[in-house]
Chain A
């Protein structure tokens, strides 16, 4: 369903935009400088990705021969096997997924609730101040409060992935609230008033009407929260005390030593860790694009 919507025949999409002043020119206009810039931009992404891929399949000897761009010969999966064993990959992946899913869900939910309450009560002082209070957290980076957080989570029995979810959500909240409140401003109050007239309570208005309308922004907030929680190294490394419950980035730290280069093992491991993030990115990016245009048309 979605695929047919987003990929209509080419002539249809270019016709309305190209029809105005350029009837003579062929419909396909090739923007040379623009394309060149975009090609260069994509190279900055594709090249490291290619190196990661080829490096992961190299043998230890070939990995250190100084030719990062050469193709792996002979093809070796030894790197994957070692990385899998050294990091305890399945458990690490499960923990990373748990922490990320928890953070994304909690951030979207709490930020949406808070933003709704704040925006609809903007004229009240306490709500306004609580907005500034939430934004204030943007100025506090985690390292500054790391020590007390380690002690606190230790005492409360939160020195595990649950504690990381809690803290990550907290740190992600301010930015997400900022995004949601800005988006909420564009949703007309009349929509809610009509729901009220139909007899909806505040909770019903939020769940049935506002939250679905927030979907595009929820996707954006979710992506930010995902990237943060998935890639974060410092917080899980300091907060989680049981090594068996550690997330992937922390487990992979093993490969970064001063004295030895095991590029094939490290890159195999990074590749395995990247895979879920790339998959999630491919899916959600499409959804966001669609969501944003939808929102724009309806608003």
Chain B
């Protein structure tokens, strides 16, 4: 008897909830929950949201900065955010793979995006027939170098592997540390050393396609394997790792930024995110960037990119139209371009100018002509401890053995899936 009464009460409560939800349509503004958790850019986005809310009365955007865990839980619960700008990686790609994101192909924003970025998006995951995510900010990463040190020693930016070695030798002979290594943080080894070495020599998209075709057969006898394709670039990486500061194994990312800002080394294998950290200590340091040359052909030069932010609208959102309206607003040139300018990112739309920051100038040509690759270390699923393997190599582990382990891990994972 009491159970029935409780059920009835629950029913009434549910009905009331539904009715209020319907009522929101007429007169009141529709609320759109917008998830964005890139800390450095929250002030900028807050302003964008405020301006948008002030400009019209139909849609009210609420900025949600609570992060990735919360979003995953909301998908489980069935009340995902209405719009997200998220770092595009394997975690977000899971939502793409399972077709839980709505198709953005018919938006104005989608038609403005450079088409040659699509293969990069597809590398993580795809839902057939849909454009599940739109790139919003692309970060390019390569070697950061101290222009003052280079000028002092009459050095040119190297464009081939042998020139790079010559530069490193010259610096070492004259008592300057050529590279600053921060091997204590394994991700810095994977992001910089591993990815630049591999990406500068191996066609990453092609390699992962061939690897996927092999599936669980990846191993000593397969046509494509980490051991076959990665051993050579990684041997070169170990050669370069001989030019680092003596205390590299015990230095972390924060130490590296500080030391590089104090001019303790000439080159630093980090992305543009390190610029703002270096600037905290040395705001006027004259820095530049160049792609790490891994072959003796300057035509092979490429920069590592990652889709720092991508826009998605989950299918489970109750406010598809309103979310789309705000999405179009976000992609307006006067919003997206200043955003990327301030975050040192590249705007993925066709007619956008590159960021004007001189520190990025060394990468712009490569980005504009599409000579880019995504880091191999982020394309391998996180169940495989690739960053630790990369760190092991930096610490002197044998490249061949490590790559064989990686092959075995890959084959096992392919079999499980």
CB neighbours (8 Å) of B274 from chain A are 259
CB neighbours (8 Å) of B187 from chain A are 258
Q: A54 to chain B: closest CB distance in Å?
A: 17
**Pairwise interchain contact A238-B70, C-beta atoms closer than 8 A:** yes
* Number of B interface residues in the complex (CB < 8 A): 33
Binds A, one of B74-82, B155-163, B216-224, B334-342: B74-82
**Pairwise interchain contact A243-B69, C-beta atoms closer than 8 A:** no
**Pairwise interchain contact A246-B39, C-beta atoms closer than 8 A:** no
**Pairwise interchain contact B258-A241, C-beta atoms closer than 8 A:** no
Query: Is B273 close to A, CB under 8 A?
Result: yes
CB < 8 Å neighbour of B66 from A61, A64, A246: A246
Query: Is B67 close to A, CB under 8 A?
Result: yes
**Pairwise interchain contact A238-B69, C-beta atoms closer than 8 A:** yes
**Pairwise interchain contact A154-B39, C-beta atoms closer than 8 A:** no
**Pairwise interchain contact A64-B254, C-beta atoms closer than 8 A:** yes
**Pairwise interchain contact B79-A154, C-beta atoms closer than 8 A:** yes
Binds A, one of B104-112, B123-131, B206-214, B276-284: B276-284
CB neighbours (8 Å) of B40 from chain A are 260
Residue ID in chain B nearest A259 by CB atoms: B273
Query: Is B24 close to A, CB under 8 A?
Result: no
CB neighbours (8 Å) of A250 from chain B are 66-67, 70
**Pairwise interchain contact A66-B76, C-beta atoms closer than 8 A:** no
CB < 8 Å neighbour of B255 from A66, A147, A243: A66
Given A86-B42, A241-B74: A254 touches B277 (CB 8 Å cut-off): no
Query: Is A229 close to B, CB under 8 A?
Result: no
Query: Is A190 close to B, CB under 8 A?
Result: no
Residues facing A in B281-310 (CB within 8 A) are 281
**Pairwise interchain contact B281-A61, C-beta atoms closer than 8 A:** yes
A139-171 contact mask (Cβ, 8 Å, vs B): 1 or 0? 000000001001101100101000000000000
Residue ID in chain B nearest A152 by CB atoms: B77
**Pairwise interchain contact B70-A261, C-beta atoms closer than 8 A:** no
Query: Is A255 close to B, CB under 8 A?
Result: yes
Given A86-B39, A260-B273: A241 touches B254 (CB 8 Å cut-off): no
B1-18 contact mask (Cβ, 8 Å, vs A): 1 or 0? 000000000000100010
Q: A84 to chain B: closest CB distance in Å?
A: 14
Given A64-B257, A254-B39: A241 touches B280 (CB 8 Å cut-off): no
CB < 8 Å neighbour of A243 from B66, B258, B277, B281: B66
Q: A62 to chain B: closest CB distance in Å?
A: 9
Query: Is B65 close to A, CB under 8 A?
Result: yes
Q: B68 to chain A: closest CB distance in Å?
A: 9
CB neighbours (8 Å) of A159 from chain B are 77, 79
**Pairwise interchain contact B276-A254, C-beta atoms closer than 8 A:** no
Residues facing A in B340-380 (CB within 8 A) are none
Q: B372 to chain A: closest CB distance in Å?
A: 19
Listed A/B pairs (29) with beta-carbon separation below 8 Å: A60-B280, A61-B280, A64-B258, A64-B280, A64-B281, A66-B258, A151-B77, A153-B77, A154-B77, A159-B77, A159-B79, A237-B66, A237-B67, A237-B73, A238-B69, A241-B74, A243-B66, A243-B70, A244-B62, A246-B66, A246-B70, A251-B66, A254-B37, A254-B39, A257-B39, A259-B274, A260-B276, A261-B254, A261-B257
User: Which residues in B have some Cβ–Cβ distance to A below 8 Å?
Assistant: 13, 17, 33, 37, 39-40, 42, 62, 64-67, 69-70, 73-74, 76-79, 187, 253-255, 257-258, 271, 273-274, 276-277, 280-281
User: Which residues in A have some Cβ–Cβ distance to B below 8 Å?
Assistant: 60-61, 63-66, 86, 147, 150-151, 153-154, 157, 159, 234, 237-241, 243-244, 246, 250-251, 253-255, 257-262
Which 5 A/B pairs are nearest by Cβ-Cβ distance?
A154-B77, A259-B273, A238-B73, A243-B64, A243-B66
